[in-house]
Every structure is written in structure tokens, then in C-alpha cells.
Structure 1
Amino acid sequence: MNQIITSLLEQDAYKFSMGQAIYHQFSDYKTTWSFKCRNTDVHFTEEMVEEIKNQIKAFCNLRFTEEELEYLENVIWIKGSYVDFLRLWQPRYEDFYIGTDAECGLSIETKGTWLNTSMYEIPTLAIVNEVYFRMQYNYDELFESFKKRLAEKVEKVENGSIYLSIFSEFGLRRRLSAEAQELAVKTLAEAKLTSSTFLGTSNVFLAKKYNVTPVGTMAHEWIMCTGQGNHKHNPAYSNWYALDAWVKEYGVLNGTALTDTITTDCFLKDFQLTYATLFSGVRHDSGDPIEWGEKMIAHYEKLGIDPKTKTLLFSDSLDFERADKLFRHFNGRAKVGFGIGTYISNDTDAPALNIVMKTTRCNGQDVAKISDVKGKGMCKNPDYVEYLQRCINWRMEHDNK
């Protein structure tokens, strides 16, 4: 099998956003990441696991080129000190444990500095996904079904029957293949869209290649580690620590806040006038999107901020039809944007994998995510999840500010 990850720029943009802030503020933090396949009917064979090991070894041999570093340095919010760090940085295969001791036949864990392990998540998932689909199915037939479906959905956007406002491709971690994702980004970048705007992709390598915007700010790991990695912090205030550190790094730049790491209701306790003003918008990743959008608009209005000046970015399990419906609901009341992943990058005749790789420990202690719906969190210690939930409940009941 050809090498799957061929450039260290094949990374979601938010990894560089977070990476710079980690480098400047949390370089001593250490994290553990764990892989999980949520599909109950999927099994990885020993041959697949061996190929995944070989692909990750090949990824660990990559280095940033000067051309790639020059591209990053031209991104307005990236600083020269971080680029100099990336000039020296390399992935370490020694940080990986890859085995077969899991129900699905594949277990992966990474341990090391947060600076390192954060950069492993996305390439690892992209490798696992592509190895599985190439070895489990007739890949050529799958790719043909992918091309057919891609053409059909792009036609809907071109002829105006689907309206997506401003949208981006977010599918690197769960793409059918590098070939498929590149075809999707190229097709969308070249499409004749009259009523929608294709802004860019989370894949920085493809953003560079097709001259579109690399899109992404923060992920759940940012809130989990900044808020729960310092064991002196009350974890119910995780969002405050995360927002504060982000503003220290970026000021008013690069500002889309993720709301659902320890529930959106708890997030809103900390997303008061200063942060709500400084951040250009918020991202939805779990729970009912209409209910969430209404809640965010009401919150902005309560603070005296015009919601029309802020962006609601939706990124949870979207297809074009769902995005169209959300745009029509919120159009004229706020700026609306979409990050659409699997539906663009892995829509074939075969069901997509539901695989994740999450931070499970930071600085030797458990960390957890309690999102707006059950089933999206991942923590190996139920006692810690119960503790975190109790902290959140206490704050929600007693903090009336």
C-alpha cells in the first residue's frame, strides 16, 4: 500500500492553532490519548494492524519542508517562534502503543508531551480509516461510488437547490482515502457556486495546494487539558481557563469557541461580555442544533451583543440537507457557517467508520468530556466522570452570576 500521510501539513488546522498556544503556555503538559471504534460490527484483522503500524512508522519519518513552514508563517495568527519549533519537530514512533487487545481488534494509545501527542490524533485516524477501507472492501468500487455521490451533491449546490451559505470540508480524520478527500476539495474549489461559498478545508496540506482557507480553531482537548490538566483547578471552570489562555495567545484573532466540552449551559457561565465580544463566534458539536443556536442568540442578546455580528458554526454529523435547513432557520439572525466532514470525504456504498482518538489523561490524572448528548464522551475512569459531573452540577445550582 502506498504511503497514506505524505506531509506533516496533512493535519487539521486547529492542531496548529492549539499547538502554538500549547508551545507557548503548556509545553510541560503530558497527555495520554486512546483510540476507540464505536462501530460494533467492525473488526480489524492482524494484517490491517500490521499495515497501520507500517503507515504510522512512515508518518513518523516525515519532517516539515521549508516551503511548508513558509506557508504556515504567512497565516496571520502563526508566530515565528512556533514555526521555529516546527522546524525542529518530528513525530516519535516511541510514543505509540499499537496492539490487537481490543474488542474491535485494534488498540492504539499514545503517551508523551501534549505538544507531541496532540499532533498524532488526526494522521492516526486518517491512516486507520484508509487502511480499513482499502483492505476490507473492493476499494476501486467504493471510490467509484464516492465519485458518483460527490458529483450528485455538488450539482445540488451548483444549481441552488441546496443553500449552504459559507461551508468548509472537515473530513480528514474519517476520509475514505487521501485520493478521495483531495478530489472532494478540488471539485468544491473549482465548482461554479452561485448561492453558497466554499471557504476551505481543515486539511492544511490541501488548503495550501488548492489555495483555499485552512479552517479550524480549537477542539475539546484544549478545554479538557487547560481546565483539568492543572489539578488545582475546579474542572467546572474549564471553559474559563481555556478561553483565558486562548485570548492571551490570540487576542481577537482565530476566535471560534467550542461550547460543549462540559455542556453548553456551563460554558455560558464563563462566556460573558468580554469573551463573547472578543470571540468572533461559537461552534456546535453535539445536541440539538436548533436549540443550541437559539440559546446562543438569546445569550448574545442578553449581553447586549448583536447576534448578526457573530458566527454560529455547525459541525456535528452534517449533510447538505441538514445544513440547508439550519441556514434557512438562522439566516438573517446570525452569521451561519458549516464544517462538513464524513458526508463530503467518505460518502460511499459502504457505511463509514465511527472512530475517535481522545485525550484520556493529562499530567497523570483522568480528564473527561461531558457533552450535550450522551455517548460522545470518553473517559476510562467512571469515578472521575462522576466527580466532574458533580462539580458542574454544584456550579450550575450555586453560581448565579
Structure 2
Amino acid sequence: MVDIATRVWNHKWKIDPIVRSLIDTDFYKLLMCQTVFRRHPDTRVTFSLINRTTSVPLARLVDEGELREQLDHIRGLSLSRGESTWMHGNTFYGKRQMFTPAFMDWFEDLRLPPYHLERVGDQYELTFEGAWPEVMLWEIPALAVLMELRGRAVLRDLGRFELQVLYARAMTKLWEKVARLKALDDLRIADFGTRRRHSFLWQDWCVQAMQEGLGASFTGTSNCLIAKNRDLEAIGTNAHELPMVYAALADTEDALRQAPYDVLADWHEEHEGNLRVILPDTYGTRGFLDHAPDWLAGWTGMRIDSGDPAEGAETAIAWWKSRGEDPAEKLIIFSDGLDVGKIEELYARFSGRVRVSFGWGTLLTNDFRGLTQGDALAPFSLVCKARYANGRPTVKLSDNPEKATGPGEEVARYRRVFDVGHQKRREVVV
């Protein structure tokens, strides 16, 4: 097992680059990328970084030269022969050859497109522009780089023994969480922590701890490189990016209203089984479900990713019942801001009523709260979102208005078109 504290003490980025592979990314990104490659290869998009936690002054903490060095390193990455073989030959969600030969030919030749970086006050503006299939693959590595560079900046002044103690305490903290989760019979939980992890080495350690501590209850990881290296299931379906861009491309309000369902119709043609999981909250869950076509009720499950998770699950259960489906046969994946206490609470309330699963993210792979002076390593809310599609602004509403993105007038228009009523504001922790 890697001695993380010693590696941190000794590390130079050429030995430990923050992102070391094009598949050091989330599995859902690759699935979505193939869909986009097939259906919208010429759509032009702009992605940009958004630091929701403005109290974290990234541009003061992270050296611009070091940031550029890491981003340039990512631009030089290409798919290795072993990685290509894994994607070609592995079974994902029970399906062989998940990725088509045409997509693999394109991916094997891919280098990520240029970036634009500018310091504005105490923050960085980091943007990516170009063809959608290429630009979308910047999101996860960009987030991982900023999160880890911020962590390296905090750790730089710690001595060797301070680092040993810090990581020993962090390991103990995680292991105590794992021990609590082990008490939950038939738990199903996966690592969703790539995008805001403390570091690659730490995420890999957390995954190994979950493997050993939880056994079969640990269902896999969203990180493709770790899944490959540790012979684990790669976990993931789709994300808000698809409806955000489809909606931006709509020419009329009727087409806008239909866009989230067009996304899932395309997905329905490509995937089956546990990949048919609805993410309903991009423009408000209640309105989405009220107007959803009947065929969506036959999908395997639903992912709850904003708003009150218990309320979202109750809404899903009521909707399935109203469409003549048995909720006990359906899958609900909780994935928003989870930590062990919330997992225990949701498990107790919904286990047996539905098939419950958890995608544990930032507070699995980046929970150093209370372990440094001034809580300088506490996780913060950093996202990288599609901002424009073919020159039109994108919008995300979610079930929590604190997570809404897009120009104010467009947010208001989307709220009207999708008939979004009152929403309760909830603090965005990560």
C-alpha cells in the first residue's frame, strides 16, 4: 500500500501528476461522450469553472504557473494500449462492447482541446471551447486539478511527521465511517468522489478501504482508472449536462419543454437495465415527473441529486405508484452531499420500500474537516458546467435554487416554461 504522507512530502508533479490518464475520469462521462459523439458531434460548447465557495480564494492559494503546468500535462495525455483494451473488452453493466469501434477509434486519437485561463481577483476563470465531445471531457480533470492544487498548497508547509499524523487521522476517520456502514445489511454503496477528491492517491486508498471494509456491499467506483486497476465495476449513468445542452439547442418553448425527455429517449435507444436511471431534477423534479411519458415509468430507477433527498425519494415512490409500478422493484440512487449519518438515515427510511443505493462523493474522498488549523482542507463547492451551446446560454435549475446556473433572465424563462413553483433553498456544502 502506498505511503501517502511520504509521497506528499517528496512529491514532484512529474512523479505524481494530478491527472494521469484520460480515463482518470467518471464512467458517466465516457457513456455520455459516446452519446454526444453519435448524435451531436458538431455542437459547439463552452464549459467554465464556477467556485460556489467564494470564501476560498483559489487564485491566492494556487500558483498560476503550477496550474498551467498541470493543465498542459493533461493536454498531452492519450489513451494507452491497456486502457483501450479495457474499454474494448471489459463487461460494463452486463454488456460487452459498451463502446463502439467508431467511438474507440476517435477516442484513441483524442487530445483534449486548448483551455483559457485568466486570474480575476482572487479567483480563476478557466474556460474550454470547442466541439462538445472533446470539451466535455475537460470537466472532471479540471475539477480534480484545482481541488488537489489547493490541497497541496495547504500541505506544503507541513513537516514530515505532521503529514504522517494528518493522514493517520484521516484514515481513522474514514475507517470509523466504514465500520458504521458495515452494520447496514444489504447496503449498496459506490464511490462517486472523483471530481472533488483530495488527491488521486487518496481516492485510491479510500476505494481500497471500502473494498476491504464493506466487501460485497461496495459495488464499485465511478473512476474508470481505479476501476481498471482494482478490477472493480465502473459505476455511472448520465448527468445534467445532457438536458442542459439539449435544452439550449431548442428553437421553441415547446421544444424546450420536450428537451429533457428527448435526452432520455436517445438514452433509451442505447442502454438498458441499470443504465436506465432517470435524473429528474435539472428543471425541477415535480414538473418533470408530472409531464413524463408513460414509458419512462418502466425504467429501472431514479437518482436523487438535489433538494431534500427524503422528499425526492417520496416523490419518486408516489410517482411510480401513480403509473402502476411497484416501487419495491425500483432503484433509488442517492448522490447529493452524502455523509455517513445521512446514509444511515436514508437507509433506515427507505430500505425495503425501494432498492436503495448510494453514490458517496466528496465526503468520502475529501473529508479532512477538523484535521488542520483553520479547517484549511475542508472541501468546498467547485463545479465545471456547460455555459453555452452553439452560442446560446445553458440553464440548470435543480430542486435547490442555490444550485441554479445561467443568466438571470434565462433562469426566469426556464422556471416559467417548466412551471417550477416555490423551491426551498438549501445550503450547498459540496
> In structure 2, what is the equivalent of residue 281 of structure 1?
301
Specify every segment of 5 or more residues in structure 1 that has no aligned partner in the other structure, as ranges: 397-401
Instruction: Describe the superposition over 1:169-227 as per-residue Cα deviations: whole angstroms up to 9, x where unpaired.
Output: 1111111111110100111112254xx70001110100111111111111100111123
> In structure 2, what is the equivalent of residue 107 of structure 1?
125
> In structure 2, what is the equivalent of residue 167 of structure 1?
189
Q: Secondary structure at the match of 1:17?
A: helix
8 Å contact 1:163–1:327 — kept in the other structure? no
Pair 1:247 & 2:271 matched: no
Instruction: Describe the superposition over 1:70-122 as per-residue Cα deviations: whole angstroms up to 9, x where unpaired.
Output: 21122323222222221111112x2x111111x43211111111101110000
Pair 1:48 & 2:63 matched: yes
Specify every segment of 5 or more residues in structure 2 that has no aligned partner in the other structure, as ranges: 1-11, 372-376, 423-430
- Match 2:28 to one of 3, 14, 30: 14
> In structure 2, what is the equivalent of residue 399 of structure 1?
none
> In structure 1, what is the equivalent of residue 151 of structure 2?
133
Pair 1:370 & 2:405 matched: no
8 Å contact 1:164–1:324 — kept in the other structure? no
Residue type at the aligned position of 1:57: D
8 Å contact 1:368–1:377 — kept in the other structure? yes
Pair 1:355 & 2:382 matched: yes
Aligned counterparts of 1:394 and 1:19: Cα–Cα separation in 2: 29
Rate the CA distance shift 1:369–1:142 in 2: closer, same or farther, 3 A. farther
- Select between 316-325 and 43-52 the one with higher mean Cα deviation: 43-52
Aligned counterparts of 2:284 and 2:401: Cα–Cα separation in 1: 11
Q: Offset of 1:374 from its aligned partner?
A: 1.2
- Match 2:199 to one of 177, 186, 190: 177
Rate the CA distance shift 1:184–1:299 in 2: closer, same or farther, 3 A. same
> In structure 1, what is the equivalent of residue 178 of structure 2?
154
**TM-score (normalizing by structure 1):** 0.91
Pair 1:65 & 2:84 matched: no
Number of equivalenced pairs: 387
Pair 1:388 & 2:414 matched: yes
Aligned counterparts of 2:250 and 2:390: Cα–Cα separation in 1: 8
Instruction: Describe the superposition over 1:129-182 as per-residue Cα deviations: whole angstroms up to 9, x where unpaired.
Output: 000111123563643432221222222234x1x567100011111111111101
Aligned counterparts of 2:140 and 2:353: Cα–Cα separation in 1: 34
**TM-score (normalizing by structure 2):** 0.85
Aligned counterparts of 1:395 and 1:252: Cα–Cα separation in 2: 33
Aligned counterparts of 1:163 and 1:118: Cα–Cα separation in 2: 38
> In structure 2, what is the equivalent of residue 261 of structure 1?
282
> In structure 1, what is the equivalent of residue 3 of structure 2?
none
Q: Secondary structure at the match of 1:213?
A: coil
> In structure 2, what is the equivalent of residue 338 of structure 1?
358
8 Å contact 2:44–2:132 — kept in the other structure? yes
Q: What does residue range 172-321 of structure 1 map to in structure 2 within 5 Å?
A: 172-193=194-215, 197-232=217-252, 234-252=255-273, 254-277=275-298, 279-321=299-341
Instruction: Describe the superposition over 1:242-301 as per-residue Cα deviations: whole angstroms up to 9, x where unpaired.
Output: 111111222556211211000001221343321221x21110111111111111111111
Aligned counterparts of 1:212 and 1:116: Cα–Cα separation in 2: 26
